[in-house]
Chain A
Amino acid sequence: MSVPVMVEPLLKVAGLNAWYGESHILHGIDFEIGKGELVTLLGRNGAGKTTTLRSIMGIVGRRSGSVTFEGRETVGHPSNQIARLGIAYCPEERGIFSSLNVEENLLLPPVVKPGGLSLEEIYRLFPNLEERKRSQGTKLSGGEQQMLAIGRILRTGASLLLLDEPTEGLAPVIVQRIGEIIRQLKERGFTILLVEQNFHFAATVADRHYVVEDGRVIDMVTAADVKQSLGKLQAYLGV
């Protein structure tokens, strides 16, 4: 599998295995992301995409193999230390806290490095959030909650964002809006690893796509090759 020429990758995953209790979910995941890239993990339900993100973050039951960030090994470290290296995670279920209001939710993740967005910048990106900053986090609409979940990890100074299905269950207008925001974040220099079911959405934003099946990466397609590989990708994803 050929990877575009790049200097030291920002994130390098090699032979990653992960377990939830007795069940072995990841069977040796290999892939890497260069600084400033936007890469997606594609695959069917249950292929192991979410588990890959959670394993990078260190919040699975047990993991083995190697995950290096900026050349530093993270396997064996607890998730709070991994986050401090500059990786931020936006979970599929969004994880908005009901006992915190919108602004408290935004301010919750601590700043781990300089270079993050300021609160004002985040509000400029998501004006709805500012209007509702005193509301209980879980009282927002689905789209607003998704924006809150993305917004709150932009403040921390993390350079790698792990986004798990940010468009799931949202109206087309909002999906489009989230697409614009993700492109803006890429322009600002964020490196993004995106898990998506919605291939058409993924195709509009990503530089490269990795295909995950049965806990392994089985193929890689660059944005330039997507057109020719459409048939192959559709077969992988079963669409």
Chain B
Amino acid sequence: MFELLGISPPALFGQLLLGLINGAFYAMLSLGLAVIFGMLNVINFTHGAQYMMGAFAAWLLLGMLDVPFWAALVLAPIIVGLIGVVLERLLLKRIYHLDHLYGFLLTFGLALVIEGMFQWKWGSSGAPYPSPIAGGWNLGFMYLPKYRGFVVVAALAICLITWYAIERTRLGAYLRAATENPTLVRAFGINVPRLITITYGVGVGLAAMAGVLAAPIQQVSALMGTNLVLVVFAVVVIGGMGSIMGSIVTGFSLGLIEGLTKVFYPPASNTVIFVVMALVLLVKPAGLFGQTK
């Protein structure tokens, strides 16, 4: 009676949940990309590698120091964020005056170095990370593993906290103003270069936190972020980078669209986001939430 086009509810809702989880990662990653791009004028190609580093940091913390998931959820983003801060101070800050292209190439190169080193040290086959919350709820129409439910809620909460911090706090106002006119903000007495470093660190930390959340669901592997970052680029093109809320909404929606495609036409599930991107480019080239800059 509850069957849609011959698809059983558990299959449908199962895929929708998977879509929501993917969407949560798209949202967290595109949010970080947008915040970083706003301040640094750099598309952070290293984002996928930093997501992977987050997952690895959690895995290593557990394996080597017995640090539980919940502590790693805080520690790993700090560690990876600090590594990001070092990269920004050493390399990125020297190329802000150049064309955007160079930031893209530089961070692409960094991604290759980081992913290559992890692959060299730990190989490319994944390692499992035990789920920190066992069990699940039987909702009648589907079985919901508790941890997966937690991931969706946690990712949504992190996105909304980020939105609040940027749109409603004093630090966020500095950030927004510095995105528009860094020279003037600096002439008001705000240390803009430090603000830029902090922004990069936080953006990278967000990617790492997404990686920690992903560790118990996916295998922890050197290349787990490689394809993801390419999909996230498409998400960013679809949403446009002008709006924080836009990134969040676009991320979650595209995850759901992907999930639905998996139910109704599985062969297209890998490519549907790119098709959406092509359609958006046709209809609204600046992106759904973008302003032409």
The answer on direct contact between A and B (beta carbons under 8 Å) is yes
The chain A residues found within 8 Å of chain B, CB to CB, are: 57-59, 78-80, 82-84, 88-89, 91, 95, 97-100, 104, 107-110, 112, 153, 156
Pick 27 A–B contacts, CB within 8 A, sort by A. A57-B187, A58-B187, A79-B183, A79-B186, A80-B191, A83-B187, A83-B188, A83-B189, A84-B189, A89-B188, A91-B184, A95-B181, A95-B184, A97-B177, A97-B180, A98-B180, A99-B176, A99-B177, A99-B179, A100-B173, A100-B176, A104-B173, A107-B170, A108-B177, A109-B188, A110-B189, A156-B188
Select one of B173, B183, B192 contacting A107, CB under 8 A.
Answer: B173
Is B279 an interface residue when CB atoms closer than 8 A count as contact? no
In the assembled complex, the Cα of A91 lies from the Cα of B187 at a distance in Å of 10
How many of chain B's residues touch chain A, expressed as a range?
A: 10 to 19
Is B185 an interface residue when CB atoms closer than 8 A count as contact? yes
In the assembled complex, the Cα of A98 lies from the Cα of B173 at a distance in Å of 11
- Using A83-B186, A88-B188, A100-B176 as known contacts, list a sample of 6 further A-B pairs with CB atoms less than 8 Å apart, ordered by residue number in A: A89-B187, A97-B181, A100-B173, A109-B188, A110-B189, A153-B188
Cβ contact within 8 Å between A112 and B189: yes
In the assembled complex, the Cα of A156 lies from the Cα of B181 at a distance in Å of 19
Cβ contact within 8 Å between B173 and A59: no
Cβ contact within 8 Å between A80 and B173: no
Interface string of B161-172 (1 = CB under 8 A from A): 000000000100
| Most chain B CB within a 10 A radius of its CB, from A58, A88, A97, A112 | A97
Cβ contact within 8 Å between B187 and A108: no
Minimum distance in angstroms from B197 CB to a CB of chain A: 14
Chain B residues within an 8 Å CB radius of A104: 173
Minimum distance in angstroms from B194 CB to a CB of chain A: 9
| Most chain A CB within a 10 A radius of its CB, from B176, B183, B188 | B188
Is B230 an interface residue when CB atoms closer than 8 A count as contact? no
Cβ contact within 8 Å between A108 and B179: no
Chain B residues within an 8 Å CB radius of A97: 176-177, 180-181
Taking CB atoms and an 8 Å cut-off, the chain B residues in 227-264 that contact chain A are none
Is B67 an interface residue when CB atoms closer than 8 A count as contact? no
Cβ contact within 8 Å between B187 and A59: yes
Cβ contact within 8 Å between A109 and B189: yes
Nearest to A138 among chain B residues (CB) is B180
Cβ contact within 8 Å between A78 and B173: no
Select one of A78, A98, A153 contacting B186, CB under 8 A.
Answer: A78
Cβ contact within 8 Å between A110 and B180: no
Minimum distance in angstroms from B258 CB to a CB of chain A: 31
Cβ contact within 8 Å between B187 and A79: yes
Closest 8 CB pairs of A and B: A83-B189, A109-B188, A99-B176, A79-B187, A95-B184, A97-B177, A104-B173, A84-B189
In the assembled complex, the Cα of A80 lies from the Cα of B185 at a distance in Å of 8
Select one of A80, A99, A100 contacting B187, CB under 8 A.
Answer: A80
In the assembled complex, the Cα of A79 lies from the Cα of B187 at a distance in Å of 5
Nearest to A158 among chain B residues (CB) is B189
Minimum distance in angstroms from A28 CB to a CB of chain B: 23
Cβ contact within 8 Å between B186 and A80: yes
Minimum distance in angstroms from A140 CB to a CB of chain B: 16
In the assembled complex, the Cα of A128 lies from the Cα of B181 at a distance in Å of 25
Minimum distance in angstroms from A156 CB to a CB of chain B: 7
Cβ contact within 8 Å between B179 and A80: no
In the assembled complex, the Cα of A109 lies from the Cα of B190 at a distance in Å of 8
Nearest to B183 among chain A residues (CB) is A59
Cβ contact within 8 Å between A100 and B189: no
Cβ contact within 8 Å between B192 and A108: no
Nearest to A109 among chain B residues (CB) is B188
Cβ contact within 8 Å between B192 and A80: yes
Cβ contact within 8 Å between A110 and B187: no
